[in-house]
Amino acid sequence: MNAVCDTSRHPRLDEAAGTPRMLFLVRSLRQGGAERQLVALACGLHRRGWPVTVVCCYGGGVFQAELEKAGVPLIDLHKRGRWDVAGFTWRLLRTLRESHAEIVHGYMTLGNMLALLARAAHPRTRVVWGVRSTIIDRTRRDWLSRLNFRMSRSAARLADGIIANSEAGAAHHASLGYPHARIRVIPNGIDTERFHFDAAGRNRMRDEWRAVDNCMLVGLIGRIDPMKDHPTFLRAAALLAACNGRLRFVCVGGGNPGFVQPIKALATRLGLDPRLVWAGPRNDMAAVYSALDIAVSSSCGEGFSNVIAEAMACGRPCVVTDVGDSARIVGDCGAVVGTGDPPALADAIERVAKNLEDPGRAARLHAAARARIEEAYSLDALLRNSEQAFRALRGRAERG
């Protein structure tokens, strides 16, 4: 099995028949939706015989272990911090030169910008950018993140291809000046073998959270961040708690303590403490989704929400805000409301909860949610569409 590779000993990428040599470039392998998709794509391509290497600026994290287990070569550039510029750039250029990658695929703003350096190593290398977001309040980001994004708007025309994971993200980036003709939408793919209803996991989680058998558990899963709009979820929960004694609530995910504490204080002021569990970050996500009766996304900004799709793969109906491609993902397997509207969110949750009270309707809703992901957003579809895009890009390079 290939272990993490030091930059002084790079793995040689042996070309598989009919497939270009691929290098994925990402800032880190911390737990997150974009990182999960990169690992799923890299591992899937590797299983299909593609010569794939993943390069990260900062190593560690749960996804590094997944790559190692799958045998995907991983190069950690050991970036020592924001101001490790000269040494890091030299290590990256050496990695790009020695990899002989035909396609370098960046992920998110920093990975995309760094991917352009591949041309300095091999002028004929094709560069693909991966954009994963729609509207983000960048006033909440630090100055360097804002600068990187402004630079990316100007540099986007240098990419040979741009892959967006949502229709909303493609339209948003085109409006910012990204070349529309080079943008292709490839939705995220969900590993339905990993994400499926887990009865034992459901019981274990509900016991841990002290959710009694006859209660209906409503959960919001995601980092505690302004983009996820926990206040709207909590205010909706307070409205529901006042009129429905069966409902219990859980928030799964971590966040910056400076933001988490005011959110928890809001829950206390709303009187939710007896009915609400703060579960923190979890890795056993199939069990977490299975423990819920309704999954909620109150986000004010999304591209393609992995949480929604993963919850549906586990047979959970979802109530979501109409941002990004959330409504497109849910279809008729839940409910969609506007952003920042606690009463509307509460009403939608109550409607879905009433449907779940009927065993026959509940079974149909669970099956429909699962089937929608299997049919429209499977991992196989992600791999098939990505392979087609990468082969086409190499074909244009050879003709050029």
Q: Which CATH superfamily is domain 199-376 in?
A: Glycogen Phosphorylase B; (3.40.50.2000)
Q: Three-state secondary structure along the chain? A: CCCEECCCCCCCCCCCCCCCCEEEEEEECCCCHHHHHHHHHHHHHHHCCCCEEEEEEECCCHHHHHHHHHCCCEEECCCCCCCCCHHHHHHHHHHHHHHCCCEEEECHHHHHHHHCCHHHHCCCCEEEEEECCCCCCHHHCCHHHHHHHHHHHHHHHHCCEEEECCHHHHHHHHHCCCCHHHEEECCCCECCCCCCCCHHHHHHHHHHCCCCCCCEEEEEECCECHHHCHHHHHHHHHHHHCCCCCEEEEEECCECHHHHHHHHHHHHHCCCHHHEEEEECCCCHHHHHHHCCEEEECCCCCCCCHHHHHHHHCCCCEEEECCCCHHHHHCCCEEEECCCCHHHHHHHHHHHHHHHCCHHHHHHHHHHHHHHHHHHCEHHHHHHHHHHHHHHHHHHHHHC
pLDDT of residue 141: 61
Six token digits for residue 327: 């409504």
pLDDT of residue 10: 40
Domains 4-189+379-399 and 199-376 share a fold: yes
pLDDT of residue 50: 96
Give the CA count within 13 Å in the CB-facing half-sphere of 367.
Answer: 6
What's the rounded mean pLDDT across residues 344-351? Answer: 98
pLDDT at 62 over 90: no
What's the rounded mean pLDDT across residues 53-77? Answer: 92
Burial of residue 356 (number of CB atoms within 10 Å: 0-12, 13-18, 19+): middle
**pLDDT category of residue 94 using cuts at 50, 70 and 90:** very high
| 77, 108, 162, 206, 326 from 134: Cα distances, Å | 29, 12, 14, 34, 12
pLDDT at 352 over 50: yes
pLDDT of residue 60: 84
* Average pLDDT value for the chain: 90
The alpha carbons of the chain give a radius of gyration, in whole angstroms, of 22
What's the rounded mean pLDDT across residues 275-279? Answer: 97
Q: Give me the residue spans of the domains in the chain.
A: 4-189+379-399, 199-376
pLDDT at 3 over 70: no
Give the CA count within 13 Å in the CB-facing half-sphere of 109.
Answer: 17
pLDDT at 22 over 90: yes
pLDDT of residue 9: 39
CATH class of the structural domain 4-189+379-399:
alpha beta
User: Could you give the percent of the chain with pLDDT greater than 70?
Assistant: 91
pLDDT digits (tens, 9 = 90+) for 210-264: 998 789 999 999 999 999 999 999 999 999 999 999 999 999 999 999 999 999 9
pLDDT at 72 over 80: yes
User: What contacts 2, CB < 8 A, 6 or more positions away?
Assistant: 11, 68, 71, 72, 73, 74
pLDDT at 354 over 90: yes
**Which letter, b or e, does each residue of 306-320 get, where b requires 16 or more Cβ atoms within 10 Å of its Cβ?**
bbbbbbbbbbbbbbb
